Amino acid sequence: MDLLLHQILAGLATGGIYACMALAVVMIYQAIDHFNFAQGEMAMFSTFIAWQLITWGMPYWAAFFLTIAISFAGGVLVERIVFKPIQNAPVLSHVVVFIALFSIFNSLAGFFWEFTIKVFPSPFPEWLHIGTFIGAHQTGMVLVTLVLLGLLYMFFRFTSVGLAMRAAAQNPESARLVGVRVGWMVALGWGMASAIGAVAGMMIAPVVFLEPNMMLGIILYGFAGAVVGGLNSPGGAVVGGFAVGVVENIAGTFIPYFGSELRLTIALILIVGVLMIRPSGLFGRRTVTRV
Amino acid sequence: MTMQTDMTHPAETVQHQPRRLPPSGHLAGISIRGWRLIWLLAGIAVALALPFLVKNFTVFQLTQALVYAIAILGLNLLTGFNGQFSLGHSAFYAIGAYTAAILMDRYDVPYWATLPPAGVICLAVGFLFGLPALRLEGLYLALATFALAVATPQLLKFTPIEEFTGGVQGIVIMKPDAPFGLPLSPDQWLYFFTLFVVAILFACAAGLIRSRTGRAMMAIRDNPIAAKSMGINTSLYKSLTFGVSALYTGVAGALGAIVVQFVAPDSFTFLLAITFLVGLVVGGVGSIPGAIFGGLFVLFMPNISESIAEDVKGLTWAIYGVLLILVIYVMPTGAAGLARLVAHRLVRRG
């Protein structure tokens, strides 16, 4: 029982990582109705920018916020330059362009910063840990995720831009008719997703170490979290992320081999399983399509 | 009422249909069909002559390009002709490769006899993966197969099956010599063997596309609802296509293992799946000969880019990415589409 409790707590701690990433996935899905397969690589690239700034002597929090700003601008730029021209293209084109971005960011990061592992600092003070199970960084990470979720909730619920974004995502034609600039709302969605990804990357890097391939496994768990929670529910994505972390830890402890060797297979099973049994996830709305 | 612009909306997918030439077109007094035959024969002649004209290593590379071409054709059957996505074909390639390697290493099966079992196993696995995939349309399928591709290397390292797979070390296999005392080097022989398999598989694919089944596949791509209302069993055809596509890629994997004489988990990462996708898009989505061009492209492009500028070493994947985006922008039908377009222009002028 003690072991189970311990594993659940540890799972929640790693779940914080996935929750962060799942939040970014859902953001972009809300804005453009697509998964961004390059999301993880974009987050990794942002984290490298932060690392570079810190290495140049910038204090952590200054680098943190500057990176968020750069990532936001980068996300908007990517949308304007790469995706706007093909917004009406078939879905295959989109998937191909996501994969193209994936390879570009991965390769560029390797080119600029090389494939050696780098240590990324944690900004959280020692006293933040909870008991002996959850370290200071994990606690901080969970707090940051929750704050982020709160901010997003308030943004979408109480600001007019947030309302316009929701309108643009749900019904672009009608939104345009009432004067919402749908194109810019999509760009804004990209910027926000990229910024959230940057936060996730900077939170994750102290745990997994910084290198160009660090995100591949994590983005998969991020997707799993988003799918479990429901792709159109930011809150669901966070819950999904935590749930996935717990499932991973418990399966890893109690099913032989799973923990060390088949971590990614758990994500695969979760994704396929949830998509088959309940495609809208735990908290998502079912989408109805008129044909 | 929630209305959404659906990703599989029929009107969007139609654009992918290759542009057909007018059947009556003539160029320099030879009909289009005649030109096609000429190109085909010229291609075969070049393919047969090449291994005697170039270095052994180049022959080896050409063989690999042919292997990729088969895998890309497999992906093309799924994506180009049936409208389903897969970012996970590296997994089927891996299954084929491991089947061949294990059969040769542990059971002393001759190399040529490993191709059918590799194909059949992949057909079964692909069909089974295709079943749940039926419920996953468009992007969701891309996501599920993405997960499959990312998880594959770990699955191959799984300890309980290490006895068969060789774990992280992988399996080393022997390169076969030319049989019947033919005066060919092992590389040349493997090239011809691969070419033979390519010929069979490409002919089968062309036949499949032209058949009733092929028309059903394309009908599902163009408008699933209309296809269904015409009495096509969409779920059966979709999972079957997934299976056949996996079969092609599995045979390619088996051949690939024989050609490089080695399989290891980390050769079958997500990057391999990207490689196939690049070949598919550059060669031409929905074009059978395009797959050959795609195979050649993904094999030789890295070498070419590195020979142009020494500094870009390591940037190959970035170049791939930029190229992918450019192709999607300027010629979404790939090299095959470009060729068709050029022919079209010439015919009009003539």
Report yes or no on B100 lying in a domain.
yes
Would you state the structure tokens that stand for residue B123, as one six-digit string? 């057909």
Do residues B161 and B218 both lie within one domain? yes
DSSP structure class, residue A286: P
Do residues B258 and B279 both lie within one domain? no
Choose the most confident range, by mean pLDDT, from B107-116, B117-126, B277-286: B117-126
For B250-276, the pLDDT digits (tens) are 999 998 888 888 888 888 888 888 888
Do residues B214 and B172 both lie within one domain? yes
Domain boundary among B227, B242, B268: B268
Q: How far is CA A153 from CA A17, A23, A246, in A?
A: 19, 11, 24
Domain boundary among B268, B301, B331: B268
For B39-91, the pLDDT digits (tens) are 888 888 887 777 777 777 888 888 888 999 999 999 988 888 888 888 888 99
Interface check for B195 against chain A (CB to CB < 8 A): the answer is no
Start-end of H helices in chain A: 2-32, 39-55, 60-78, 91-113, 136-158, 160-170, 172-177, 182-208, 215-229, 234-254, 258-261, 263-277
Query: What is the per-residue pLDDT for B249?
Result: 92
**The tokens 């490089």 sit on which residue?**
B260
Would you state the structure tokens that stand for residue B147, as one six-digit string? 């997960």
Query: What is the per-residue pLDDT for B14?
Result: 41
Within 8 A of B157 by CB-CB distance, chain A residues are: 261
Q: Can you tell me the mean pLDDT for A100-121?
A: 86
Between residues B340 and A176, which one has the greater pLDDT?
A176
Distance separating alpha carbons of residues A208 and A227, to the nearest angstrom:
23
Report yes or no on B17 lying in a domain.
no
Do residues B122 and B87 both lie within one domain? yes
Report yes or no on B96 lying in a domain.
yes
Cα angle value B316/A204/A117 (rounded, 5°)? 50
Cross-chain Cβ contact B314/A264 below 8 Å = no
Domain boundary among B227, B247, B268: B268
Do residues B145 and B217 both lie within one domain? yes
Complex ipTM above 0.95?
no
User: What element of type H or E holds B172?
Assistant: strand B171-172
Torsion of the alpha carbons at B151, B156, B160 and B165, rounded to the nearest 10: 170
Nearest to A35 among B139, B159, B328 (CB): B139
Containing structural domain, residue B302 = 271-350
Report the candidate in A95, A79, A87 with the shortest Cα–Cα distance to residue A35. A95
Residue A64 reports pLDDT greater than 80: yes
Least confident range of A122-131, A147-156, A255-264, B330-339: A255-264
Choose the most confident range, by mean pLDDT, from A89-98, A235-244, B51-60, B222-231: A235-244
Would you state the structure tokens that stand for residue B269, as one six-digit string? 């990462």
Report yes or no on B55 lying in a domain.
no
Within 8 A of B151 by CB-CB distance, chain A residues are: 220, 262, 264-265, 267-268
Percent of chain A with pLDDT over 90: 10
Do residues B224 and B88 both lie within one domain? yes
Within 8 A of A96 by CB-CB distance, chain B residues are: 277, 281, 324, 328
Interface check for B318 against chain A (CB to CB < 8 A): the answer is yes
The residues, ordered by sequence, that sit 6+ positions from B334 with a Cβ below 8 Å of its Cβ are B280, B281, B282, B283, B284, B285, B287, B290, B293, B294, B327
3-state secondary structure of B60: helix
Percent of chain B with pLDDT over 90: 6
Q: How far is CA A128 from CA A8, A122, A147, A149, B228, in A?
A: 19, 12, 16, 20, 59
Would you state the structure tokens that stand for residue B7, as one six-digit string? 């990703």
Would you state the structure tokens that stand for residue B276, as one six-digit string? 């196939």
Report yes or no on B24 lying in a domain.
no
Cβ–Cβ < 8 Å for B101, B229: no
Report yes or no on B1 lying in a domain.
no
Interface check for A84 against chain B (CB to CB < 8 A): the answer is no
Least confident range of A102-111, B196-205, B211-220, B303-312: B303-312
Distance in Å, alpha carbon of B19 to nearest chain A alpha carbon: 16
Cross-chain Cβ contact B150/A268 below 8 Å = yes
Report the candidate in A93, A26, A149, A290 with the shortest Cα–Cα distance to residue B225. A290
Q: Can you tell me the mean pLDDT for A253-257?
A: 73
Report yes or no on B202 lying in a domain.
yes
Within 8 A of B320 by CB-CB distance, chain A residues are: 100, 103, 107
Do residues B249 and B285 both lie within one domain? no
What is the number of structural domains in chain B? 2
Interface check for A268 against chain B (CB to CB < 8 A): the answer is yes
DSSP string, A86-134: GTTS-HHHHHHHHHHHHHHHHHHHHHHH-SS-B-----S-GGG-BTTTB
Secondary structure E strands in B203-323: 262-263
Query: What is the per-residue pLDDT for A132?
Result: 66
Distance separating alpha carbons of residues B260 and A138, to the nearest angstrom:
45
Do residues B134 and B254 both lie within one domain? yes
Report yes or no on B44 lying in a domain.
no
Q: How far is CA A26 from CA A35, A224, A226, B104, B157, in A?
A: 8, 11, 6, 46, 32
Residue B30 reports pLDDT greater than 80: no
For A164-191, the pLDDT digits (tens) are 888 887 788 888 888 888 888 888 888 9
Query: What is the per-residue pLDDT for A71?
Result: 93
Do residues B145 and B234 both lie within one domain? yes
What does residue B172 show for φ and ψ, rounded to 5 degrees? -100, 135
Per-residue pLDDT band for A45 (boundaries 50, 70, 90) equals very high
Q: In chain A, what is the straight-line distance between the N-terminal and C-terminal CA atoms, in Å?
A: 52
Within 8 A of B227 by CB-CB distance, chain A residues are: none
Between residues B14 and B24, which one has the greater pLDDT?
B24
Residue A290 reports pLDDT greater than 80: no
Query: What is the per-residue pLDDT for B310?
Result: 62
Do residues B276 and B305 both lie within one domain? yes
Do residues B263 and B278 both lie within one domain? no
Sign of CA dihedral B129, B134, B137, B140: negative
Do residues B217 and B311 both lie within one domain? no
Q: Chain A 161-190, CB below 8 Å of chain B: which residues?
A: 170-172
Domain segments of chain A as ranges: 2-214
Secondary structure E strands in B1-101: 26-27, 30-31
Percent of chain B with pLDDT over 70: 84
For B288-322, the pLDDT digits (tens) are 888 888 888 888 877 776 676 666 666 777 887 88
Helix-, strand-, coil-residue percentages of chain B, each rounded to 5: 75, 0, 20
Query: What is the amino acid identity at position B216?
Result: A
